Amino acid sequence: MNPELREWLPQVRSITVLTGAGVSAESGIPTFRDAQTGHWAQHDPMALASPEGFEQDPRTVWRWYQWRRELIARNHPNPAHTALAELENLVEHFTLVTQNVDGFHQLAGSNRVLELHGNIQRNICSQTRQTIADRWISDHRDHEPPPSPHHPRGLARPDVVWFGEALDTAVLQTAFEAAASCELMIVAGTSGTVQPAASLPAMAAENGARLLDINPETGPISALADWHLDGPAATWLPRLVDCLTTP
């Protein structure tokens, strides 16, 4: 690890973290497009992840997400997730912003999580966007998708942001505020090309934060970062925690 980073890290009181698909991939969770294998490779991504696709063929879209949920259920958080949960308790101000929808950060113990793209484990009404309880989904599992309890024409759909949909403005605003006010921003497992998340590191840098990029490959964020750690987040994040816990 960079000696300057190792020496400076214990002084930091405010950290914002941005995680992407690479962190989930280390748990065996394929990215959205990588998951389109076998039968699902025959389907247009827009048809599987857009309001229009759901309206045209809700049964197929529901089955696609049920299949992805089963993939997630067979896997577990990795050391990167665990390290971030520990890091949350080691600094005064901590915010974790994720583009991932698997819920592994919370499962690993993180509490201050902003989910930019939603969470695949939750369901909402297609008409009102109200949350639908897991018990309701279970009681109506013979329907694909289950009907919504909140609207006569509503159907259950995953609580994720689809193509053509806007991110939650409150979540996004809080993420930008966390980026603008932190001393250190850690970017792990994301290429930094998907907007608006890709703007968060730039926002942090413009407001005086130092940037740490953790990724097996270099990208736009690497060029902006003060430090780049070449390798998986599951390797480097536990080492960062060790810097704060080992005398």
Q: Where are the domains of the chain?
A: 3-29+77-117+167-245, 31-74+122-160
d(CA 182, CA 22): 23
pLDDT digits over 42-56, tens only? 667 778 889 999 999
Determine the Cα–Cα distance for residues 12 and 45; give it in Å rounded to an integer: 42
The chain-wide mean pLDDT, for the chain, equals 92
211 strand-pairing partners: 185
- What mean pLDDT is predicted for residues 60-71? 93
d(CA 27, CA 112): 21
- Could you tell me which CATH number the domain at 3-29+77-117+167-245 has? 3.40.50.1220
Residue 235 has pLDDT above 90, yes or no: yes
Residue 117 a catalytic site member = yes
As its CATH architecture, domain 31-74+122-160 has 2-Layer Sandwich (3.30)
Q: Are 117 and 100 a contacting pair, CB within 8 Å?
A: yes
Question: Catalytic one among 81, 105, 117, 228?
Answer: 117
Same fold, 3-29+77-117+167-245 and 31-74+122-160: no
Q: Does residue 192 carry a pLDDT above 90?
A: no
Is 90 exceeded by the pLDDT of residue 93? yes
Main-chain dihedrals φ then ψ at residue 121, nearest 5 degrees:
-80, -15
Q: pLDDT band at 194, cuts 50/70/90?
A: confident
**Tens-place pLDDT, residues 147-175:** 999 999 999 999 999 999 999 999 999 99
Name the E strands within 21-136.
93-98, 113-115, 118-125, 131-132
Q: Which of 51-60, 86-95, 126-135, 211-220 has the lowest mean pLDDT?
A: 211-220
Q: Higher confidence at residue 130 or residue 36?
A: 130
Of all residues in the chain, the percent with pLDDT exceeding 70 is 94
In the structure encoding, which two tokens stand for residue 245, read together? 């816990």
> Crossing angle of helices 79-88/233-245, nearest 10°?
30
| Residues with Cβ within 8 Å of residue 203, at least 6 apart in sequence | 176, 179, 180
HSE, side-chain direction, 13 A CA sphere, residue 75 = 21
What is the rounded distance in angstroms from the CA atom of residue 104 to the CA atom of residue 101? 8
- Euclidean distance between CA atoms 124 and 133, whole angstroms: 9
Residues 107-114: contacts with CB under 8 Å, at least 24 apart? 107/76, 107/77, 107/81, 108/77, 108/81, 108/82, 108/84, 109/82, 109/85, 110/81, 110/84, 110/85, 112/88, 114/171, 114/174, 114/175, 114/178
Beta strands in 54-176 (DSSP E): 93-98, 113-115, 118-125, 131-132, 156-160
DSSP SS3 for 2: coil
pTM higher than the cut 0.95: no
Q: Is the pLDDT of residue 141 over 80?
A: yes
